[in-house]
Amino acid sequence: MKKISLRLALISLLSISACIASAVHAGDSDLCKSICASEKKECRANADTQTKFDTDPMITASSGSRNPNDSNHDRLADTIRNKEVANKDFMNRKLERYRTCDDKNLQCINTCISTSSVPKK
């Protein structure tokens, strides 16, 4: 799964570079920034999808004890604690992926700005 994600990320990065280069050569910074915004939106959609895969029931471990001697109260407390930790981890992974998208977007916009401010010959 990670290999596929890395390949998709590399392909999208190359396509971003090609689009930015063509927009910059055209001298249209608004087009360049529009491409950056579009790529950010796509990146966030991918981040949401990847985060949903993290919570796939086939991937996540089962919670709670299977020991029949445990009291129901202990099992319920463990289940609630596990869900709280899982929710916190879910949000942390999602926010980290969003930060990565924001960083890529800032780099894209900075590239647009720096290349559009270069005097043309």
pLDDT digits (tens, 9 = 90+) for 29-65: 788 989 999 999 999 999 999 888 877 665 555 555 5
Of 55, 58, 59, 51, whose CA–CA distance to 83 is shortest? 55
Give the 3-state secondary structure of residue 31: helix
Give the model's pLDDT for residue 36. Answer: 94
- pLDDT score at 66: 60
Question: Between 19 and 112, where is the model more confident?
Answer: 112
**63 within a domain of the structure (yes/no):** no
The answer to whether residue 50 is domain-embedded is: yes
pLDDT by residue (tens digit) across 89-111?
889 999 999 999 999 999 999 98
Q: Is 66 helix (H, G, I), strand (E, B) or coil?
A: coil
Evaluate whether residue 7 is within a structural domain: yes
State what percent of residues in the chain have pLDDT above 70. Answer: 55
* Other C-beta atoms lying within 10 Å of the C-beta of residue 58: 5
Q: Does an H or E element contain 39, and which?
A: helix 29-54
Structural domain contains residue 30 = yes
More confident residue, 61 or 80: 80
> Where in the sequence is the domain holding 92, given as residue range(s)?
2-55+69-116
**pLDDT value at residue 39:** 95
How far is Cα of residue 84 from the mean position of the Cα atoms in its chain?
Answer: 22
Residue at 11 is within a domain:
yes
Domain count, the chain: 1
Residues 6+ apart with CB under 8 A from 24: 32, 111, 112, 115, 116
- Asked if pLDDT for residue 81 goes beyond 70, the answer is yes
